[in-house]
Structure 1
Amino acid sequence: MRANFVLVALSLSVSCTLGVQNVVRTNCGVYNGRNSAKDGTTRWLGMRYAAPPVGDLRFEAPQDPQCVDGIQEAFRHRKYCLATGASPKDTQTSEDCLFLDVYAPTNASTSSRLPVFFFIQGGGFNANANPNLEGRRLIQASNHSIVVVTFNYRVGPYGFITDGDEISPNNGLLDQRKALQWVQTNIAKFGGDPGHVVLGGASAGAASISLQLAAYGGQDYGLFHGAAAESISFATVLTVEQSQYQYDNFTHRLGCAHGQNSNFTSSLACLRSKTVAQLQAKNHNIPYPGASGPPLYMWNPVVDGDLLRDVTYNLYAQGDFVKVPMLIGDDTNGGTVFTPRNTSTLRQSDEFLHNQFPYLQTDQLSTINKLYPNSNASCPAAGCYWRQVSDAYGDMRYMCPGLYISSELEHRGVRGTWNYRYDVRDPAQVQEGLGVPHVVEVSAIFGPQNGTGGAPASYLPGGINAHIVPVIQGYWTSFIRSLDPNKYRYPGSARWDPWTESGRQRLLFQTEGVTAMETVDYNTQARCQYFNAIGPSILQ
């Protein structure tokens, strides 16, 4: 016992004096990581940043974890958070899911103060869609000069249900802030600089970035210092009161509504008595009031008057956000993976859009249809409106919000603002009709061999798109390191000019491998101008 104590003390002493060793003491636990001589990185997987959100902490804001004595092995990923619509038998997820992973260069020391990349995964706030992304390839691309943090946060009802009374709203966003606070407290012990944290995120992760910048009226708590956002999503953002039907319906499905079960003092107490399997069996989306079918993603952040004080368009129009340098962009065909392929009529197209954005009015849908005429000559064949509704949905939810935030950043004096369009075509995706689909560039940014699978085959070594990987990694790691994508960009890649409202220029990533600046085309500008105008009225 005494010998073990001496070894632990010696190991901790070495980590404090000579650099980051495998064994690191955080503010609440000692973790043993694992290094890789092959790529010169060390990783600590499955470290707890908040207490298990179970029992009385179910549907509560994240709390500090209980500290554990002794060394804990940090060799494997932990289960990620429960998803809406997922099987109750899914063994890869758990309610106890608030863990994070840290990746660092093996040669980093506690005095290295390396820039930190804090990546927020997507999933429409209804799933953890990028679990267990490996940060090692990105560290290699940075010449071993950054630290990468990935983490899980609660989604679906576990992260975004509220009753306007006992349940605090926006717990999933609070999980993100809790993880950022963990970084501020602990990351220096892994070689990172808490004064240089760059947010990253894709889809709902990028939406999270936009909301974290605007949190608490845009107050700057020093949690981050730059951001790189892939496909910022502006979904329907209800108020706490408007979202009450979601809580009422969920409790009713579980037999916990008022009058259904007299064994509990409240519906919340009843919900907390249910097993995860019981909750998951009833965890599915329902239509917004007045809609004909459920949206793709029902559980979303809500305007609570505190963390979120207005819908996203209004927050940025008012300048209520932290002003930091940002990379923002989207894919050419961001809507194709979401819209029904059998959309065969204009009415079906309108119905899909209205189900996602229930505050759309008939005259607004009519204008959208004029802005997106159907060029498919095969109508009325099955699916002939698929690309029409895909184009409208992709621009409305992803492309135009990103361009809008870029303009608002510049308008508010942020000079470090860059925008891009990703147009690298994978042959298999093109053949499937997807074009260049939603957040496909994440596979290139983290490297196609990032441990999660799913990367297009053309991005792998020897593939026709393999050349794009070092190019985009060069821009991203340069931005993470210096808050400028140009300083350390890949040799031969184009200079990325900042976004200006007058020039409206963005970087174009192309299949041929040639990066170049382009001006946003007239049709996209006209369409986005309309979506920006109606955005607040439809609660985006």
Structure 2
Amino acid sequence: MYILLGLALLTGTSIASPAVNQGARHTRSSTPTVTVKNGTYTGLHNDFYNQDYFLGLPFAQPPVDELRFRAPVPLNTTWSSPKAAISYPSLCVGYGTDDTFNTGIDPPGSAHSLSEDCLYLSVIKPSCVTLNSSVPVAVWIHGGGLFEGGSNDQRYNLSYIVQNSVEIGQPMIGISIQYRLSGWGFLGGKEALEGGAANNGYRDQRLALHWIQENIAAFGGDPSKVTIWGESAGGLSVGAQLLAFNGRDDGLFRAAIAESGGPTVNFFSSTLPGGYNSTGYQTMYDELLANTTCASTKNTTSLDCLRHLPFESLNSFFNSSIAGPYYPMIDGDFLATWPSDQLAAGNFVRVPLLIGTNSDEGSAFGVYNISTDEEFIAAVNATTYPSSISTFANTIISYLYPNIPAIGQPSLTTFPELLNDTSALTSVLGLQFRRSFSFFSDLIVNAPRRASNQAWSHFAVPSYSYRFDVTVEGVPSYIGATHFQEVAFVFDNINGTGYATSPFPNATEPEKRAAFVNLASQISKSIVGFITTLDPNQNGLDNVTTWPVYNSTAGGGEGMNMVFTADGDGFGSFAENDTWRAEGIAFVGEFAKAVWGT
């Protein structure tokens, strides 16, 4: 671990704003303490928000040496003297910009501390919450493609949303957890499957939830009122916990929130055709062996060999261009079978769900520089499995996703320019970029989101859906309301802490900034309402549209989304029928398993 160098980012005037009430100052002389099953921790007190922090609490034994590539093992130690919990933990070893560049906690330009010993969680609680308060609990699972990220990323600063919960009289506790990433947590192949190395990143999350059940009451939380919550790969992880062990309800959570994620989200399509059951997993395992001194070992003995390799040897390979990507796989245990089959059969934990996507997710996941029909079909073919279905799929997709800019994404309202051969952006985007963005957006997140809402509705479980429709500051209009951009609004991070460019307008555009700030307040407090009461409409706001429960059996047979927009004063969000690109999304959903691998 390392000392919390950026505490000023949590407590000082750098996050205070006269535009909104983000808390009054409090003073307290005592150090917060908490006694959990294993012993006592001392934490930090934030005067500005009147919050207590307990940072870097272990929920498992370090997954090193003999425990490397194994399911996480619960703590088995106790202590009598208090331990300090005032430092964020090292991030789990990952391979992306979230792990190599400053996101608000380290000195500018420095890399985060990375370690195999990384299974820790951090707790942010209002100081007014005491032992017997029994308040709801939100458990944040970070995103990052299952290959990067961690709980100390200040874009996920829980102080703001926890403060919102206090402001509307519905206090909650916020927790962020870490889990093993990349090959460390999602090693695939026959040997990994037989040797207990599959889906261990998900199993890490599961053990953290068990720790919370055993210990959260000591912080003033109610273990029966836990909501799991994540974005992107964190939302995918939320979906995995809903499906785990064929949908077995272990009483670990009472609700779930998935932003741009969910049970059948397909982040694998462009890199791993066949999805959860790809033959590529074995190829990747074999490549790992071939590039280490374990090449001559066989079967599960090869996994034992990998456990004893120096960290540097494995890290060098996992960080190479030939490694991965490492994703979850059907193991017949944690992931019992195809996610789409589980949804159809109702084999998921039947708790209320809040789920949504952004209007232009395809600009993050689509294939760029597509200018011809042939290039578009080739891009589609690269994601299909088995290839025998491709001819049929190509015919349908050419019809359902035509090259008509007016119906693609981003919309002509967001980005009015129609590209031609001489346009400056054509060499980057291609003439058919809107077509590509639309298809891949539907394939990867939109169809899975709709399938989840429809499954919840079919089995009479409440769910809510949203579409985030804001192009934030620093993002070009041709990118639009792309992946991840709702996160700053959900966390009410109005000063853009942790961002290279703040998503919010600055003071030189007061009306636009006010609209963005108002929208952030609405979204964040609606999330609080869902976490604390299971109803996002319990948000302490009187001037906003009611967020309807998704009911695919009412009216014309479709549910409704809440559309979040910063138009006008920022309180102009509205409900819409969930019918956009209905035929294309229905096709993608119908072939979720056979073609797309989910």
Shorter-chain-normalised TM-score: which range?
A: 0.7 to 0.9
5 Å-filtered alignment, 1:202-241, equals 202-232=231-261, 233-236=265-268, 237-239=275-277
Residue pair 1:161, 1:167 contacting (<8 A) in 2 also: no
Indicate the residue corresponding to 2:314 in structure 1: 279
Give 3-state SS (helix, strand or coil) of 1:419's partner: strand
SS at match of 1:479: helix
Measured in 2, the distance between the counterparts of 1:267 and 1:429 equals 46
Check whether the contact 1:122–1:206 (CA below 8 A) recurs between aligned residues: yes
Counterpart mapping for 1:252-401 below 5 A: 252-258=290-296, 266-283=301-318, 298-359=325-386, 361-363=389-391, 364-374=393-403, 375=405, 377-378=419-420, 381-382=426-427, 383-384=429-430, 385-401=432-448
Aligned pair partner of 1:493 in 525, 534, 544: 544
Change beyond 3 A, Cα 1:268–1:527:
same
Match of 1:468 among 515, 519, 522: 519
Task: Please report how far the alpha carbon of residue 350 of structure 1 lies from its aligned counterpart in structure 2 after TM superposition.
Answer: 4.2
CA contact (8 A) 1:85 1:280 kept: no
Q: Among 34, 43, 64, which residue is 2:44 paired with?
A: 34
Q: Secondary structure at the match of 2:146?
A: coil
1:264-284 deviation digits (Å, cap 9, x = unpaired): 993223322333332222115
Give 1:127-206 correspondences, 5 Å limit.
127-128=148-149, 131-132=152-153, 133-143=156-166, 145-162=171-188, 163=191, 164-206=193-235
Q: SS state of the match for residue 421, structure 1? A: strand
Give 1:517's aligned residue. 575
Shift of 1:441: 0.9
How far 1:151 moved relative to its partner? 1.1
- Greater shift, 462-471 or 34-43, is seen at 462-471
Identity %: 27
Q: Which amino acid aligns with 1:227?
A: A
Q: May I ask how many residue pairs the two structures share in their alignment?
A: 507
**Larger displacement relative to structure 2 (375-384 or 164-173):** 375-384
- The answer to whether the Cα contact below 8 Å between 1:286 and 1:298 also exists between their aligned partners in 2 is no
Q: Equivalent residue of 2:453, what SS?
A: helix
Q: State the secondary structure of the residue aligned to 2:563.
A: strand
Work out the CA distance in 1 between the residues paired with 2:205 and 2:300: 31
Q: CA deviation at 1:249?
A: 1.5
Report what 1:76 is aligned to.
87
Residue of structure 2 in register with 1:9 after alignment: none
Letter aligned with residue 518 of structure 1 = E
Aligned to 1:290: none
Amino acid at match of 1:388: R
- Counterpart CA distance in 1 for 2:320 and 2:358 is 27
- Summarize deviations over 1:310-352 as a string: whole Å, max 9, x none: 1211110111001111111100001212345434444444444
Would you say the 8 A contact 2:150–2:178 is kept in 1?
no
Could you tell me which residue of structure 2 aligns to residue 508 of structure 1? 563
Distance in 2, Cα, partners of 1:450 & 1:97 = 26
One-letter amino acid of the structure 1 residue matched with residue 538 of structure 2: K
Whole-Å Cα distance in 1 between the matches of residues 492 and 55 of structure 2? 19
Structure-1-length-normalised TM-score: 0.87
Return the letter of the residue paired with 1:494: T
Higher mean Cα deviation, 198-207 or 265-274? 265-274
Residue in 2 that maps onto 1:426:
472
Q: 1:359 to 1:379 in 2, by over 3 A?
A: farther
Q: CA deviation at 1:404?
A: 0.7
What's the offset of the Cα at 1:451? 4.7
Report the residue type matching 1:504 in the other structure.
G
RMSD of equivalent CA atoms:
2.7
CA 1:424–1:450 in 2, change beyond 3 Å: closer, same or farther? Answer: closer
Does structure 1 retain, via aligned residues, the 8 Å contact 2:377–2:394? yes
Matched, 1:94 2:140: no
Conserved 8 A contact 1:471-1:489: no
3-state SS of paired residue (2:564):
strand
SS at match of 2:356: strand
